[in-house]
Amino acid sequence: MSKPLILVSNDDGISAKGVHELIKSLQHLGEVVCVCPESPQSGMGMALTVNSPLRVKKLEDYHGAAMYQVSGTPVDCVKIAVDNLLSRKPDIVVSGINHGSNAAINVVYSGTMGAAFEGCAYGIPSIGFSLTSHDEDADFTPCLPVVDKLVKAVLEKGMPEGVCLNVNMPANVAEYSEMRVVRGCKGKWNDRYEEYHDPAHRPFYWLAGNFVNEEPDNHDTDEWCLANGIVSIVPVLLERTYPLLDEFKWIPNEL
Amino acid sequence: MSKPLILVSNDDGISAKGVHELIKSLQHLGEVVCVCPESPQSGMGMALTVNSPLRVKKLEDYHGAAMYQVSGTPVDCVKIAVDNLLSRKPDIVVSGINHGSNAAINVVYSGTMGAAFEGCAYGIPSIGFSLTSHDEDADFTPCLPVVDKLVKAVLEKGMPEGVCLNVNMPANVAEYSEMRVVRGCKGKWNDRYEEYHDPAHRPFYWLAGNFVNEEPDNHDTDEWCLANGIVSIVPVLLERTYPLLDEFKWIPNEL
């Protein structure tokens, strides 16, 4: 039996420490091919390049993994890998390890999760991993047993159709003792654009803000786990249809 | 009682015909403020600008609507409108009218729906409208009664928390007689990147492909409606958590 084919991507770009650590931790589990954006793509969600072309550059192998950089988004990376670069459909898509949390509402804006959702759209079991630290030189050592255990489990068990995993790991924990399957926490970004002026006195704006947890006392959420040193695993849906269509009987049919 | 405040956005950019037609059809329903990307943002989904600043430019009013262009994505437009530009929270966010279908899986990549989902994240009732024609000069006349009827109904009834509407209208229909609340159709993009070579003989790649409907005989989907001249309304979820967490008991807790 051939070794599993593992497609790795991320949104911090191919030079980020997080993806290098991920590749090292995956190399013993199968054949690893890494296809990542050439530049940081944080916050790109499921953005897809449709109105311009992509460039692809093959780099030197890294710890046995073939390395490609793509001038696009995380979704573009997974698409061009599956459609054109890989010799067969990968057995799993692993995205990350992201520098920064993708818990709660962040999952919808996350490029890391964009790559995982795109794997899911191809029917490939997919996982996105994130560490809750934006430090470029963050210590990913505690993450490696989580990656190992989950990737092995998913390679063995597969995933329900249209579902992938959003895994977040709390920073500043020397060794995790637990991971839990939980739901995404309810909460909002309390944000505001700061106004600046350029040297020509023209205004520009930069997004600033903080996440407000709307249910800090509920123990079954990803944010609660992260606040308590526990790794959170949220199974997330690619599907968007609201299941209770009968609630919309007030919409008229006639025009 | 003051008039409803209607925030309009889109992903085709502020010069697209679709958004101009939308503004004209909304002007009698309330105070309209339009905040759109300065350039086309098709396929940008919920992408958000975090690592660079935004520019905002106020343009001349159009049919009584205040007009702003933003150097970012549809999500950026809704965010900066609600956070900084508007004097109060809008009563509704209306996005579109998109030039092209956002039915089925397209909802996840759609910038039009990105703006609607972002409105939803603020707790604002939100609707995205799309016409299944990419023609820059498409005839939006048949869409206007749909917009009028749905916007009035949603202003009156509101929306369940975390849900917004993905409305698609079939092109080449002189007058719609029906709209239906349905689910997003199952299907996949059968895509492939075409390879080209630039004048310096370096390769570049462009996404090509077609949508494959995996359930053409089911009548309760958006694609079926569109194929049969009916307007489709799919209530869609911002929330991502898969509801059946018990299916994941095979994931170990110990590390």
Q: What is the pLDDT along chain A (255 residues), one digit of tens a residue?
A: 689 999 999 999 999 999 999 999 999 999 999 999 999 999 999 999 999 999 999 999 999 999 999 999 999 999 999 999 999 999 999 999 999 999 999 999 999 999 999 999 999 999 999 999 999 999 999 999 999 999 999 999 999 999 999 999 999 999 999 999 999 999 999 999 999 999 999 999 999 999 999 999 999 999 999 999 999 999 999 999 999 999 999 999 998
Shortest CA distance from B143: residue in chain A: A255
Chain A touched by B170 (CB under 8 Å): no
Q: What is the pLDDT of residue A231?
A: 98
Give A88→chain B minimum CA distance, Å: 14
Give A123→chain B minimum CA distance, Å: 10
Chain B touched by A161 (CB under 8 Å): no
ipTM of this complex = 0.96
Chain A touched by B233 (CB under 8 Å): yes
Helix (H, G, I), strand (E, B) or coil at B92: strand
Residues of A with CB below 8 A from B53's CB?
196, 204-206
CB A170, CB A226: distance < 8 Å: yes
**Residue B76 scores a pLDDT above 90:** yes
pLDDT in tens, B80-92: 999 999 999 999 9
**Residue B227 scores a pLDDT above 70:** yes
Chain B touched by A5 (CB under 8 Å): no
Residues of B with CB below 8 A from A254's CB?
177-178
Q: What is the pLDDT of residue B2?
A: 81
Mean pLDDT, residues B57-84 taken together: 98
Dist CA A232 CA A170 (whole Å) = 9
**Residue B254 scores a pLDDT above 70:** yes
Whether B177 sits inside 8 A of A255 (CB atoms) is yes
Q: What is the pLDDT of residue B241?
A: 95
Whether A45 sits inside 8 A of B47 (CB atoms) is yes
Beta-carbon contacts of B2 under 8 Å, excluding residues fewer than 6 positions away, are none
Q: What is the pTM of this model?
A: 0.97
**Residue B27 scores a pLDDT above 90:** yes
Sign, Cα dihedral of A239, A75, B103, B218: negative
**Partner-chain residue, chosen from B51, B114, B179, that has the shortest CB–CB distance to A253:** B179
Q: Nearest to residue B132, comparing CAs of B188, B103, B170? A: B170
Whether B242 sits inside 8 A of A252 (CB atoms) is no
Q: What is the pLDDT of residue A2?
A: 81
Chain B touched by A251 (CB under 8 Å): yes
Helix (H) or strand (E) holding B149: helix B144-157
Shortest CA distance from A41: residue in chain B: B51
pLDDT in tens, B138-193: 999 999 999 999 999 999 999 999 999 999 999 999 999 999 999 999 999 999 99
Beta-carbon contacts of B75 under 8 Å, excluding residues fewer than 6 positions away, are A109, B44, B46, B47, B48, B114, B115, B117, B118
Chain B touched by A2 (CB under 8 Å): no
- For A252, the token pair is 């008229």
Q: Nearest to residue A181, comparing CAs of B238, B240, B250, B162? A: B250
Residues of B with CB below 8 A from A51's CB?
40, 42-43
- pLDDT band of residue B123 (cuts 50, 70, 90) is very high
Q: Give the CA-trace dihedral at B242, B244, B247, B249, to 10 degrees.
A: 90
Question: Please, which residues 80-109 of chain A have a Cβ atom closer than 8 Å to chain B?
Answer: 80, 83-84, 105, 107-109
Chain B touched by A199 (CB under 8 Å): no
- pLDDT band of residue B105 (cuts 50, 70, 90) is very high
**What single-letter DSSP state applies at residue B226?**
H
Chain A touched by B166 (CB under 8 Å): yes
Residues of A with CB below 8 A from B122's CB?
188
CB B104, CB B213: distance < 8 Å: yes
Dist CA A195 CA B244 (whole Å) = 44
Chain A touched by B202 (CB under 8 Å): yes
Give A17→chain B minimum CA distance, Å: 18
Q: Nearest to residue A80, comparing CAs of A112, A126, A33, A39? A: A33
Chain B touched by A55 (CB under 8 Å): yes
Whether B46 sits inside 8 A of A48 (CB atoms) is no
Interface size, chain A vs chain B, as Cβ–Cβ contacts under 8 Å: 227
Chain B touched by A13 (CB under 8 Å): no
Whether A181 sits inside 8 A of B251 (CB atoms) is yes
pLDDT in tens, A79-94: 999 999 999 999 999 9
Q: What is the pLDDT of residue B1?
A: 60
